[in-house]
């Protein structure tokens, strides 16, 4: 997408979650995680690339020791509909015997996150918890639910706060929906 096309998409988009509400959601999720993991030393795994914004805002708010790594698994690549799961980068850290907190940008259909959790459990993780900035309300059951959710979004094509529209606008501090989609 060209810069001009990206600017046009943003100019025509509907604001769903303001920067202020995004920040409050992250603070609330951090508080919930702090209560749940305060006595743990978990491995926190960010799911790249969408989780980078959420993870960057979340980590400084966590008040317990942790180890950090990342993984990159995707069903989307450069397209807007999910396909076969591709593992681009697996975690370097050993998950065996660990409590793992997976941080992701959005729980959409849930297929990718469910497969990530299944793989971590198969590798010996004691417990796998999931924190997502956004959970999209699809009106149907998903194969997984997140343990910690920042905001719930309508079933629209969304971008911002780590989520992209054809590669653009992950860097926005708010969440928008593409108009007409």
pLDDT at residue 140 tops 60: yes
Residue 81 pLDDT level (bands cut at 50, 70, 90): low
pLDDT at residue 79 tops 90: no
Percent of the chain with pLDDT over 90: 81
Reference 47, options 96, 109, 101; nearest CA is 101
pLDDT at residue 180 tops 80: no
pLDDT for 49 equals 85
pLDDT at residue 43 tops 70: yes
Query: What average pLDDT does range 152-180 have in this prediction?
Result: 94
pLDDT at residue 38 tops 60: yes
pLDDT for 1 equals 84
Cα(176)–Cα(69) distance, rounded to whole angstroms?
28
- Is 19-156 in CATH node 3.40.640.10? no
Tokens of 64: 């317990």
Beta-strand ranges (E) seen in 30-147 are: 43-47, 67-74, 86-89, 99-107, 127-136
Catalytic residue among 108, 135, 147, 164: 108
pLDDT for 142 equals 95
pLDDT for 83 equals 60
Reference 113, options 94, 130, 97; nearest CA is 130
- Angle CA(105)–CA(126)–CA(101) in degrees, nearest 5? 20
pLDDT for 138 equals 94
Tokens of 181: 């989609």
What does each C-alpha distance from 177 to 98, 133, 147 come to in angstroms? 37, 15, 24
Of 92 and 149, the one with more pLDDT:
149
- Condensed to tens digits (0 to 9), the pLDDT of residues 143-159 reads 999 999 999 999 999 99
**Low-confidence winner among 13-22, 52-61, 82-91, 129-138 (lowest mean pLDDT):** 82-91
pLDDT for 4 equals 95
Cα(161)–Cα(172) distance, rounded to whole angstroms?
5
Question: How confident is the prediction for the chain on average, in pLDDT?
Answer: 92
What pTM was estimated for this model as a whole?
0.91
Side-chain half-sphere of 20: how many Cα atoms within 13 Å?
0
Q: Where are the alpha helices (DSSP H) in 74-174?
A: 111-122
Let me know: does 134 contact 146? Beta carbons within 8 Å.
no
Q: Is 108 a catalytic residue?
A: yes
> For the chain, what are the domain ranges?
19-156
């Amino acid at each position: 997408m060209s810069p001009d096309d990206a600017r046009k998409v943003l100019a025509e988009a509907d604001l769903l979650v303001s920067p202020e509400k995004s920040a409050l959601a992250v603070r609330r999720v951090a508080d919930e995680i702090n209560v749940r993991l305060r006595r743990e030393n978990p491995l926190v795994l960010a799911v790249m690339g969408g989780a980078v914004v959420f993870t960057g805002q979340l980590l400084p708010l966590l008040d317990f020791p942790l180890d950090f790594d990342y993984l990159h698994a995707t069903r989307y690549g450069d397209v807007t509909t999910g396909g076969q799961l591709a593992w681009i980068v697996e975690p370097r850290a050993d998950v065996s015997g660990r409590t793992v907190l997976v941080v992701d940008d959005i729980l959409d259909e849930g297929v990718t996150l469910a497969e990530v959790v299944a793989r971590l459990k198969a590798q010996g993780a004691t417990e796998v918890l999931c924190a997502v900035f956004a959970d999209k309300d699809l009106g149907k059951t998903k194969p997984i639910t997140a343990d910690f959710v920042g905001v719930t979004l309508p079933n629209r094509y969304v971008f911002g706060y780590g989520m992209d529209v054809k590669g653009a606008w992950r860097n926005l501090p708010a969440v928008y929906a593409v108009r007409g989609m």
